[in-house]
A = this chain, B = another copy of it.
Amino acid sequence: SGKDVAKPSGRVFAPYAIFKGKAALSVEPVLPTFTKIEPGNLRIDRRGSVMMTFMPASGERKYDWGKKQLFALSPTEVGSLISMGSNESAEFFHDPSMKSSNAGQVRKSLSIKPLVDCSGYFFSLTVNNSILNTNERIVVPVAKAEFAVMKAAFSFALPHIMGWDRITTGQATHGITSLPKTSPPQLGLEWV
């Protein structure tokens, strides 16, 4: 939309990636964007997320970037993941076109289920496209230690994707657009 700003330079790429035999999973925080409001203050405009990128393997230690599928965890979904007990499951459903005329065409679901031997979790992303009549599924087994890294890293990232680090430090220099807004902020109704 018109409110979007060009991707700023100064971005830092540091994904946490898990490479397994049949697929890979990479996770990385995406910061929220802010809008300037009077007098010289900022209001969160689009909340951040933890972006999960699933890629199927195309050979030994090779992964097909062109067939990647994305799933952006909202702050509440991040809260759900970091509070999961050791035998618990979680499932999240997204419609990338929610609230638009294309609603319902693509449905994504992310399922997190404990492995039978309790050594970790299956992360399964299913993407159903009713227009193209496709149904894709990418599954990555995540070891307990890798899940622990996710929990710790997501806990660290959570206040940042919520924008609370800005409140507490006043560091308000990234992702800011200065166009005026008259409507209340739309917090995250559109998700990958």
Cβ contact within 8 Å between B158 and A149: yes
Count of chain A residues near B, Cβ 8 A:
60
Interface string of A4-43 (1 = CB under 8 A from B): 0000011111111100000000001101101001011111
Counting CB contacts under 8 A, is A55 at the interface?
Answer: no
Copies of this chain, complex-wide, total 4
Q: Is A165 an interface residue, CB under 8 A from the partner? A: yes
User: In the complex, which residue of chain B has the Cβ closest to the Cβ of A17?
Assistant: B187
Contact of A157 (CB < 8 Å), options: B29, B40, B159: B159
Chain A residues close to B by CB (< 8 Å): 9-17, 28-29, 31-32, 34, 37, 39-44, 75-80, 82-83, 143-153, 155-160, 162-174, 187
